Structure 1
Amino acid sequence: MSFGKVNRIGTAEATPQYQDLQLFTDVLSIVRKSYVEEVEMKDLIYGAIDGMLASLDPHSAFMPPDIYKEMMIDTSGEFGGLGIEITIKDGILTIVSPIEDTPAYRAGLQAGDQILKIEDQFTKDLSIMDAVKMMRGPKGTKITITVMRESFDKPQEFTLVREIITVKSVKSSTLEDGYAYVRVAQFQERTANDLLDALKLLRSQNGSLRGLILDLRNNPGGLLDQAVKVSDIFLPGGLIVYTEGREEGAQMKFSAHPNNTEDDFPMVVLINGGSASASEIVAGALQDHGRAVVMGTQSFGKGSVQTIIPLTDDSGLRLTTARYYTPNGTSIQATGIIPDILVNPIEIQEAKEGMLFREKDLKNHFETPEKTDEKLPEEDERQMFQLNEEYRDDYQLMRALDLLKGWHIFKALDRTAA
């Protein structure tokens, strides 16, 4: 079958850009006239825009009105679904990180898991927005996804029940007297304010802080301005992050201010392969300024900035407009933040107390008079085991706590030597 030649006006004088656009309108005209079934014009336009953006990078996407509306709800911290952040990696739908206290997190899904199927549909050639739309649904409904992981011999199915996902951005706890823990799960509209409230509470519990662990593991990112504000809380000045893009508005620099900066207590920032985007900005800024020791494993490596652009029909455009760089000029795109101290997660297995014996258990052992002003090592042990089991089983967190305590020990030794 021949469609004949589509008429063109002024082809000889057309610019290359006009010729490319003419090609698009030619195809659109042919599809509308000759496709086996009639297709709505809006569906064709949406499909063309979606394909155009999908050809750019994994993070640029077109959002129809329903998806755009849900995306705007995401940044306020409440939405319906499974509780995972996803991306396209090497052409495969991949989990960036599961969000704490969600169906995905409780089911054991992990950063780096590859989603091969959603229900009966293979995810190959599926856009992120289409995948998001499929995985979200009414509260209480079930969905089965097929996942492949490095440690799996073959893909495994996970059946999850959708929930209204309410993400608590910041949670905090005192680990030991003076040593505090703050977990930032995602960067939302109130993250910086919630962090300030958490630090205020921790100071009221401890008087002053001897050390802080800032946990950004499995934090998929979020709002750039909140990453800047969180970094500003701990930095008295200097560059936090800068961006470079083609448009003038994409050339931005963000710096810290001396007002309301937290005390210069020792800090450890925990990261892993699920730490992406905004969490990498914070880790990179504190690392470059020497404000914190970064510990854990290499982060995800999403060093690009997406701009959300509303369109006339209530749809939206998520477009990559810039790359961001740490204060030292390092782009983390596809590389990630390299921790100062590499600590892989391992499972802690404690020896049972009944299997151990000490000098005091030996027959005819002799006693040493206790000094009332000296704390015995066993007191430290008891203090350690007062920690919540959730924390005691976290090897990376325990290593971070040991590092903070060790810093004070060596500082005390320096004073003694002097």
Structure 2
Amino acid sequence: MKRLLSLLLVGFCCISTPALADESKQERDIYRDLETFANVLTLIQQYYVDEIDSNKVIAGAINGMLGSLDPHSAYMTPDDFKDLEEETSGSFTGIGIEISIRDGVLTAVAPIEGTPADRQGIKSGDQIVRINNELTKNMTLMEAVKKLRGAKGTPITITVHRQEWKEPREFTLIREAIPLVSVKYTELEPGFSYIRVSNFQATTTKDLRNTLKSIKKKHRILGVILDLRNNPGGLLDQAVKVADLFLDKGIIVSTKGRNKEEQMQFEAHPGDGYGDFPMVTLVNGGSASGSEIVAGALRDHKRAVIMGTTTFGKGSVQTILPLPDGAGLRLTTAKYYTPSGESIQATGIKPDIVVPLTTQGDSAAAPSSPAKTIREKDLPRHLENDKGGKKQSESAAEAADGNDEEEFQQMEDIHQIAKRMEQDNQLQAAFNTLKGLAHSPGQRQK
């Protein structure tokens, strides 16, 4: 191990030789810090009470280093890479929940529709304090993901704390294959369609294009509700292509980072033929990243009315950087900007029409207080928005939102549209607005 550390330091010296000719203070500090790290590791090996696993200690140091950055940068083991490939290809085995770390506590961002977590009633904002009786307080996000996933048919018990509960509650869920069917649709009335996009994976654009073709074969499209609520994002290129389906020209999104390769601009292309009908796009606090790209592009080009509540506010781009041993880094490398040049980092997309979710339906049932929606600005070490003068407008938007402690009332069967419309006032408002746009001559978004 001493020889390995010596090689590490020598390697660093070799890489830095041209620059060290200037003896800049920053370079001297980096070299000194690396030497300190090597000395600490040597002392731990020599004097720690138990024999240590050096690989585990170094991995812990790497996680600690990345943990000092923003909440979306992380170290990925080779197994993590495999999990990532499964997730973006369209399926994985687990309980079906999007998670994050908030104030050092493992927290649910959003359950995936129709999964064990969704059926058991796990909500946005729930704190997962134990997994199989093991405290999650000091777990990394990747460690928690590994524990939640597992073989199909195996049970897992999570202990959940919710704001309005006096005591934490245990939920035992059975892991199953989580097919990430990202596009679902149903007809509201002849000519009016409701399309839900739950995430952006490898087949999302293809599935959405096929859905639109299928609708168009049946009848002329009079209007579409695009539901992006609780869509946590996914693949950047798929979000761009989804927006491109509804736009004929103009910028969709641009990215800016420190390196030249991170300065990118994505533009729409003519020819898809889905730009001639009115649209309403639904968003909420669980709409993040890719869904914010789509909503921002449709809003700035006045292609759709954005309705609901302020989105999550994740305006950063992560790049997977491979390491020689098959592991890798998920590193935040850029911020993205809407066509108008707005960064939504930690502020989110503000809807054109603010419609907070209200509890409807069975008036005899006393609704429980929903858990607080987690947004990017609530995460520790989140990147700040680099645009000045945004604080006042952000506060005004939050005031207009009213109570942002909302939850998206999900249905396992998207075709139970009557029940869905009865309980979902945001969908009702979107449909009424859509019909108004369709029946107003010359009022289509341009």
Q: Shared topology, TM-score over 0.5?
A: yes
Counterpart amino acid of residue 107 in structure 1: Q
CA 1:76–1:400 in 2, change beyond 3 Å: closer, same or farther?
Answer: same
Change (3 A) 1:189 1:66: same
Matches within 5 A, 1:173-188: 173-188=186-201
Match of 1:306 among 318, 340, 351: 318
Corresponding position: 1:68 with 2:88: no
SS in 2 for 1:181: strand
| 1:295 equivalent in alignment to 2:283 | no
Matched-pair identity in % = 55
Query: Which structure 2 residues correspond to residues 120-139 of structure 1 after superposition, within 5 A?
Result: 120-139=133-152
In the alignment, is the contact (CA less than 8 A) between 1:59 and 1:87 conserved in 2?
no
Whether 1:411 and 2:441 are equivalent positions in the alignment is: yes
2:199 touches 2:233 (CA, 8 Å); kept in 1? yes
Alpha carbons of structure 1 residues 350 and 177: separation in structure 2 relative to 1, 3 Å? farther
Number of the residue aligned with 1:103: 116
C-alpha deviation, 1:185, in angstroms: 0.9
1:247 aligns with 259
Contact in 1 for aligned 2:133/2:159 (Cα 8 Å): no
Matched residue SS, 2:181: coil
Post-superposition Cα deviations, 1:110-131, rounded to whole Å, max 9, x if no partner, equal 2222222223222223211011
1:226 correspondence with 2:238: yes
Does residue 401 of structure 1 match 2:413? no
Please give the alpha-carbon distance, in whole angstroms, between the structure 2 residues aligned to 1:82 and 1:271: 24
Shift of 1:281: 0.7
Helix, strand or coil at the partner of 1:86: strand
Asked if the contact 1:65/1:314 (under 8 Å) is kept, the reply is yes
Cα offsets for 1:136-186 (capped at 9, x unmatched): 111112222222334434433222111111110111111101101111011
Tell me the distance in 1 between the aligned counterparts of 2:293 and 2:433. 23
Secondary structure, counterpart of 2:101 in structure 1: strand
Using the alignment, how far apart are the partners of 2:130 and 2:251 within structure 1? 43
Letter in 1 for 2:197: V
Partners of 1:126 and 1:26 in 2: CA distance? 26
Contact 2:247 2:275 in 1 (8 A): no
CA RMSD of aligned residues (A): 2.3
Give, in whole Å, the separation in 1 of the partners of 2:348 and 2:159: 27
Alignment of 1:269-418 (within 5 A): 269-349=281-361, 387-411=417-441
Query: Offset of 1:249 from its aligned partner?
Result: 1.4
Q: Distance in 1 between matches of 2:328 and 2:134?
A: 26
Aligned partner letter, 1:132 = V
1:238 to 235, 238, 250: 250
Residue 255 (structure 1) shift: 1.1
Higher RCO (C-alpha 8 Å, min separation 6): 2
Q: Find the residue that maps to 2:55 and give its secondary structure.
A: helix
Inter-partner Cα distance in structure 2 for 1:21 and 1:286: 48
Measured after TM superposition, the shift of residue 350 of structure 1 is 7.5
Q: 1:181 to 1:52 in 2, by over 3 A?
A: same
Q: For the residues of structure 1 that align with 2:97 and 2:335, how far apart are their CA atoms?
A: 24
SS in 2 for 1:217: coil
Q: Structure 2: give runs of 5+ residues left out of the alignment.
A: 1-5, 14-22, 364-415
CA offsets, 1:381-415, max 9 Å, x none? xxxxx954334432211211111112234439x9x
SS at match of 2:277: coil
**TM superposition shift of 1:261:** 4.0
- For residue 348 of structure 1, give the secondary structure of its aligned residue in structure 2: coil
TM-score (norm: length of structure 1): 0.84
The correspondence for 1:256, drawn from 262, 268, 289, is 268
Structure 1's consecutive aligned runs of 4 or more residues displaced over 6 angstroms after TM superposition are none
Q: Distance in 2 between matches of 1:111 and 1:350?
A: 22
Q: Determine the C-alpha separation between the residues in 2 that align with 1:331 and 1:92.
A: 28
Residue type of the alignment partner of 1:24: F
State how far apart, in whole Å, the 2-side matches of 1:217 and 1:111 are: 12
1:216 Cα offset (Å): 0.6
Partner residue in 2 for 1:163: 176
Shift of 1:286: 0.6
3-state SS of paired residue (1:411): coil
**Contact between 1:232 and 1:261, CA under 8 Å: does it hold in 2?**
no
Rounded Cα–Cα distance in structure 2 between residues aligned with 1:26 and 1:84: 41
TM norm structure 2: 0.78
Deviation string 1:275-316 (CA, Å, 9 cap, x unpaired) is 111111111111111111111111111111111122222212
Q: Deviation of residue 349 (structure 1)?
A: 2.7
Pairwise CA distance, 1:44 = 2.3
Q: Which residue of 1 aligns with 2:377?
A: none
Answer whether contact 2:198 2:228 (CA < 8 A) is retained: yes
